[in-house]
Amino acid sequence: MKEGLGSSQRPYRTRTYYNHALTTTFICLILLSFIYLHSVRSPRNGHLARVSNARLSARCKYLRTPAGPPPSFYKRTQSDRYVDGTRPVLLRNAKIWTSRANGTEVIHGDLLLDKGILKAEGRVPRAMLIGMPDVETVELHGAWVTPGLVDLHSHIGVAPMPRHSGTTDSNSHRMPILPFLRSIDGLNTHDASYELSISGGVTTAQVLPGSANNIGGQAFVIKLRPTAEKSSLSKVLEPPFTLNQSLQDRDFDFSVPPRWRHMKHACGENPDRLYSQTRMDAAWNFRHAYDEARKVKEAQDEFCAAVEQSRAVASTEFPESPLELESLVDVLRGRVKLSIHCYEAVDLDMIVRLSNEFKFPVASFHHAGETYLVPDLLKSAWGGAPSIALFAANARKKREAYRNSEFAPKVLADHGIPVVMKSDHPVLNSRYLLYEAQLAHFYGLDEATALMSVTSTPASAAGLGHRVGTIAKGYDADIVIWDSHPLSLGATPRQVFIDGIAQISEPHHLSKPRTSQEPPHTPDFSREAADAVKHQGTPPLEAKRVIHSGVVKFIGVRSLYVQDKGNIQTLFDYELRDERLNPSQISNWTVFVRDGALECYTPARQESACAHVTEIQPEVVIDLDGGSLSPGITSFGSPLGLVEIRLEPSTNDGQVYDPLQQQVSGLLGGADAAPVRASDGLQLGGRNTLLAYRGGVTQAITAPMGSGFLLGVSVSFSTGAKHSLERGAIIQHENALHVALNRRIGASVSTQIAALRRKLFGSSVDADGAAWARIREGEIPLVVHVDNADIMATLLKLKDEYESATGRTLLVTFSDAIEAHLLAEDIARSNISVILTARKPFPFDWDTRRILPGAPLSAETALSTLLEKNVNVAVGVVDEFDARHARFDLAWAQLDSNGAIKKENAIALVTSNLHRALGLTDLGSDLVAYKGGDMFSMESKIVAVVSRRRKVIDMF
Ligand SMILES: *[C@@H]1O[C@H](CO)[C@@H](O)[C@H](O)[C@H]1NC(C)=O
Ligand SMILES: *[C@@H]1O[C@H](CO)[C@@H](O)[C@H](O)[C@H]1NC(C)=O
Ligand SMILES: *[C@@H]1O[C@H](CO)[C@@H](O)[C@H](O)[C@H]1NC(C)=O
Ligand SMILES: *[C@@H]1O[C@H](CO)[C@@H](O)[C@H](O)[C@H]1NC(C)=O
C-alpha cells in the first residue's frame, strides 16, 4: 500500500474548494440550528396537555435502557445470521485457544458448530449429535483453533479493490462535522479484499468512515462472508434499530434494549489539513456539535421527566432528535461505541476533556501513537480508559506518527489498558492482521494479550463481545483452523468458518515445521521499551558501542552464512547437521572477526584451529547463545535515505521532475535533461534508516522519488553511516536507471512506451547524460517499475527489438511486478530479473488485479512461480518503516514455499539476487549477529553488525 487512506490519499483541494467548503459548513450549521429549534419544543412554552400514554412512557423508559443484547440472547439456539441448510460441523481433536480466562485457556478437544452458533466446545456430549444425522466431521489432528479475528479498524468495502479513478467512499469532503453519514451507504459487496481478508482469518470488521472529518460518520460492524442476499445490509452484524428509523414505528418494541451503534471521530492532521483549520477549530467543531446534541437530549429528558411524573407537557409528541443530530444524542446516552482517530498527546487531551465536559465514554482511540506516553490521561477519560487500537510498526509516515513506538502495545498493557491491533485496511492489508499481533508479541506484548488484541478485545470494544471474538457455547460459529500456532510467523488458516459456514472452498495447505506449533520465546526488549518512554518516542538509535579495530570473538554460534563472490554460502549450520561432525561439536561454534572482516571460525572445543587469532586478546567476547551470523540485508523499493517523514515534505528530498508530463527547466537541459541521481539527495541517520540497520538491513538501494515516468538513477549506501562522506557510506553512486510504466501516469501507456523507445533508439540525444548511454550499451540495468503483465509483454518485445536492431544486450529488471508470474517463462527467456516489492500481493488497482495469493487460496505464489522458471528473483519492500522486518518477510516466504526455498536461497533474495538485478557490482557484504536464534526467527535479537565496508563493529 503506497499511501495512507484518510485524506492523505489524494492531493488536498485548492483554496477555491476550501472557501466553498467553508460556505457549505456555515449554511449547514445555520440549517442545523433551524431544524433544531423547530423540532424541539420546550415543554414550558407550548400548549399544555396531560399525557398518560403507555407508549410514551415506554419510549421514555427506553432512553435509560443501556445498549446491548437482551437477556433472551443468551438462551438463543440459532443465530439471526443462520443460513438455512447449513450443515452442522464437528471439529475433532483441536487445540482450542478460547480467549477466556484473560486469554490463558487452551482446551484440547472438539467443537460443534450448528445453526450458526457454537453448540459445545471441549467434550461434545454424544446426545447432542444424535439429532444431527447430517453432521460433517472434520479431524484436525491437534491443529490450533481460535475465534475468527475481529478487525476494529477497517475500510473494507468502502474503499473497494481494485480501486477506480482514485476515489473511495470512505471520506466525505463536505464539512468537518458529519454525524449523520453512514459507512453502510458506501459498503460495496464486490470488494476483492473480502476473500483475501477471510483467507487471513478475519471474520468480522468494523467499517469506519475515513479520517478526513472531525466527525466522519457512523460505522457499522460487518461479517466478511458473502451472503445470498448480496446486499450491504445483510453483511451488517446486529444492525442498530436506528438504521431505518424504526423507533418511530407504531409497533416498535421498546422492551428490547437498543443495539450498539458505532461512530468515527478524528483529530489532528487529516481533518485539519483538509479544512485548513487549526486544532483549536477542530475542538470547537466538536464542542459546538455536542452542545447542540446536549440541548436536544436535555429537552427529551425534561419531557420524559414530566411524562413520568404525570406533569403537564407541551405536546403529546416525543421531541424527536433532528436526523442530523440524533446519533450524537445517542453518544450522550452512552449507546454509541466511539472510535476516535487521534495520535498525539495534545489531541488525546482535547478528546478526554470533551468526554468529561459532555459526559460520554470513548470506546477506542485509533492509531493513537502517543497513548503509551500518557496512560493516566487515558484513565481520566469519562467512563474510564478506552481501548487503544494500534499498528504494530507502521510509524513515522506523518509528523503526528513520529513518536509511535513498536513497544506501545506492551507499555499500555503493563498499565492495564486494553490493547487492540488493527489493520486500517487497505492501509495494511487486513489479510495480515494476525501479523500485527505477532509483531506486538515480538516487541514484548505477552502471548495472551497479543491473541486477545485481534479477537476478544476488539469484539468488546465494538460492543459485540457477547457473540464474537471468543470460543464459548452460544457464540457465533466464527472459527479459524490454523496450520501452526497463531503467534508463530506465517501462521495461515487451513479453513475459516463464519456463521458456521466454511469459507474456503478448496484450501491449499502448507506443511509447517514442528517448531511452529509453539509460540516463539521472543527476546527481552524491556530496556528498549523503557528507553522509548523515557525519550518520549525518540530514543537514540545509534550503536551503544563502536569497535574500530582488533579482534571480536563470537561464541555460542550455531550458524554462519556469508556472501562470497556474489553467492550465499553456508559455512556451518547446526540445523543442517553436517555428517562429518558430531552433534555436540556443531551446536557451539566460535567465530573470530578482525578489523571488520571474518577471520576464522571453529567448533568451540577446537579453538586451536584458530591459533593465530586466539593469541590476540579480543576487544570483546559476544555470546550469541545459539545464534547466528549472516549477511546484512539490502533493502530496495522504499525511499529509505530520501525521506524521514513521508508525508512531511520539509523532511524529504522531494519529487523529481517528469519530462513526459511536465515542462523541464532549461537550466536542467529541457526535455532531454540528464536523469536525477538519488545519490545527490541522500540523507543519512534518519530513524527509519537506523531502525532498518538495527534490523539487520545494512545497505539500501534507493531510486529517486517520483510519480511519473522517469525516476532517475539509484544509489546504494550503508544504512549505518552517519553522513555520506563517511568511509563506506556510499557503495555505488550510480546503480541503475529507473523508469515507471503504469496506468496511473497521466500519459497513455503507449505514450510511455514511445518515450522509452525514443530514449533507447534515439541518436540525437547525447545530451541526456551518461545514464542513458550506459543503458544503451548494456552497462547498467534499466529498472522498469511495472506491475501489469500486458505492459511487461510490450517491454519484452521492445527489448527484443532493440537487441536485434543493435546487436547489443539490454540489462532489464522488472520491479514491483505483481503480475510477473503470468509471464514467468518469457521473462526467464529474456534474462530479465524481477524484484517483487509486494511479496504479499494485493489487487490495489487494475494494473495489479491478477495476483497469485498463495495459501490457502492458491498453491503457488508469484515468488515460487518465478523461482521455478529460474528467473533471477529478488524481494523488496515498499514502506520505509517496514524495511527493518525484511528478515521476517524472508522467513515467511520460506514457509509459504513449503520447503522449496532453502535458507541460502532466501538470503539471496535480499542480497546476491537483488544486487544482480540492480547493478551492484561490489560483491560481498556485512555480517549481522543474531542472538538466541537465526535471522529467520522471532526468537532472535540483533546484537551487533560487522561492517566490512565501514570497517567497524557496531554493538546495540
Ligand atoms: C483477568 O484479569 C483481571 C485483571 O488482572 C482480573 O481481575 C480477573 O480476575 C481475570 N479474570 C480471569 C477469569 O482470570
Ligand atoms: C428496521 O431495522 C431493524 C434492525 O435491523 C429490523 O429489525 C426491522 O425489521 C427494520 N424495520 C423495517 C421497517 O425495515
Ligand atoms: C559454547 O562454548 C563457549 C566456549 O567457547 C562456552 O563459553 C559456552 O558456554 C558454550 N555455550 C554452550 C551453549 O554450550
Ligand atoms: C543475464 O543477465 C545478467 C544480469 O542480470 C547478466 O550478468 C548475464 O550475463 C545475462 N545472461 C545472458 C545469457 O545474457
Residue 386, ligand 3, Cβ within 6 A: no
Residue 828, ligand 3, Cβ within 6 A: no
pLDDT at 22 over 60: no
Q: What is the mean pLDDT of residues 504-517?
A: 95
**Cell representation of residue 18:** 476550501
What is the b/e burial string over 140-178, where b = at least 16 CB atoms within 10 angstroms of the residue's CB?
beebbbbbbbbbbbbbbbbbbbebeeeebbbbebebbbb
pLDDT top residue among 29 and 856: 856
Q: What is the mean pLDDT of residues 611-626?
A: 94
Strands of 670-773 (E only): list them: 697-702, 710-713, 715-718, 730-732, 737-740
* One-letter amino acid of 437: A
**What is residue 797's three-state secondary structure?**
helix
pTM of the full predicted structure?
A: 0.94
* Domains of the chain by start residue, with CATH: 5-65 (no CATH), 149-277+338-468 (3.20.20.140), 540-632+925-956 (2.30.40), 633-924 (3.20.20.140)
CB atoms within 10 A of CB 844: 20
Residues in the chain: 956
The Cα–Cα gap between 914 and 895 comes to: 20
* One-letter amino acid of 472: A
* Report for 35-49, 51-65, 644-658, 760-774: range of highest mean pLDDT: 644-658
Span from the CA of 603 to the centroid of ligand 3 (angstroms): 10
pLDDT number for residue 315: 77
Span from the CA of 466 to the centroid of ligand 1 (angstroms): 17
pLDDT top residue among 167 and 212: 212
Residue of 99, 102, 105, 460 with the most ligand 1 atoms within 8 Å of its CB, for mutation: 102
pLDDT at 2 over 70: no
pLDDT number for residue 651: 97
Residue 725, ligand 1, Cβ within 6 A: no
Span from the CA of 481 to the centroid of ligand 1 (angstroms): 27
Nearest-CA residue for ligand 2 atom 5 is: 239
Span from the CA of 626 to the centroid of ligand 3 (angstroms): 9
Peptide bond into 856 cis (omega under 30): yes
Picking from 563, 382, 489, 554, the residue whose alpha carbon sits closest to that of residue 890 is: 489
**What is residue 293's three-state secondary structure?**
helix
Mean pLDDT over each residue of the chain, to the nearest integer: 92
pLDDT at 830 over 50: yes
Q: Which residues contact 913 (CB under 8 A, 6 or more apart)?
A: 833, 872, 873, 874
* One-letter amino acid of 14: T
Answer whether 91's CB lies under 8 Å from 481's CB. yes
Q: What is the mean pLDDT of residues 331-342?
A: 98
Sheet strands side by side (includes 697-702): 633-636, 697-702, 715-718, 730-732
Residue 416, ligand 1, Cβ within 6 A: no
Q: What is the mean pLDDT of residues 291-311?
A: 94
Rounded to 10 degrees, what is the CA torsion of 932, 935, 938, 940?
Answer: 20
Which residues lie across from 496 on neighbouring strands?
Answer: 480
Closest ligand 2 atom to the C-alpha of 240? 4
Direct distance between the N- and C-terminal alpha carbons of the chain, in angstroms, rounded to an integer: 31
Residue of 555, 613, 624 with the most ligand 3 atoms within 8 Å of its CB, for mutation: 555
Which ligand lies nearest the alpha carbon of 870?
A: 4
User: Please, which pLDDT band fits residue 386 given cuts at 50, 70 and 90?
Assistant: very high
Which ligand lies nearest the alpha carbon of 592?
A: 3
Least confident of 155-169, 273-287, 493-507, 811-825: 155-169
132 CB-contact burial (10 Å; exposed 0-12 / middle 13-18 / buried 19+): middle
The Cα–Cα gap between 74 and 500 comes to: 18
The Cα–Cα gap between 917 and 912 comes to: 9
The Cα–Cα gap between 423 and 206 comes to: 11
Nearest-CA residue for ligand 1 atom 12 is: 101
Residue 245, ligand 2, Cβ within 6 A: no
Residue of 220, 234, 241, 245 with the most ligand 2 atoms within 8 Å of its CB, for mutation: 241
Nearest-CA residue for ligand 3 atom 9 is: 556
Least confident of 573-587, 689-703, 845-859: 573-587
Span from the CA of 237 to the centroid of ligand 2 (angstroms): 13
Nearest-CA residue for ligand 2 atom 6 is: 241
* Rounded-to-5 percentages of helix, strand, coil across the chain: 35, 20, 45
Which ligand lies nearest the alpha carbon of 607?
A: 3
pLDDT at 536 over 70: yes
**Cell representation of residue 77:** 439456539
Span from the CA of 241 to the centroid of ligand 2 (angstroms): 6
Closest ligand 1 atom to the C-alpha of 101? 13
Which ligand lies nearest the alpha carbon of 604?
A: 3
Which ligand lies nearest the alpha carbon of 558?
A: 3
Phi, psi for residue 220 in degrees, rounded to 5:
-135, 145
Phi, psi for residue 219 in degrees, rounded to 5:
-105, 160
Residue 921, ligand 4, Cβ within 6 A: no
pLDDT at 698 over 90: yes
Residue 590, ligand 3, Cβ within 6 A: yes
Picking from 481, 479, 491, 494, the residue whose alpha carbon sits closest to that of residue 519 is: 491
Convert the pLDDT of each residue in 87-142 to its tens digit.
Answer: 999 999 999 999 999 999 999 999 999 999 999 999 999 999 998 989 999 999 99
User: Please, which pLDDT band fits residue 585 given cuts at 50, 70 and 90?
Assistant: low
pLDDT number for residue 595: 86
Which residues lie across from 700 on neighbouring strands?
Answer: 635, 717
Percent of the chain with pLDDT over 70: 93
pLDDT number for residue 762: 77
Which ligand lies nearest the alpha carbon of 99?
A: 1
Span from the CA of 831 to the centroid of ligand 4 (angstroms): 6
pLDDT number for residue 513: 92
User: Please, which pLDDT band fits residue 250 given cuts at 50, 70 and 90?
Assistant: confident
pLDDT number for residue 26: 46
Which ligand lies nearest the alpha carbon of 253?
A: 2
Closest ligand 2 atom to the C-alpha of 244? 1
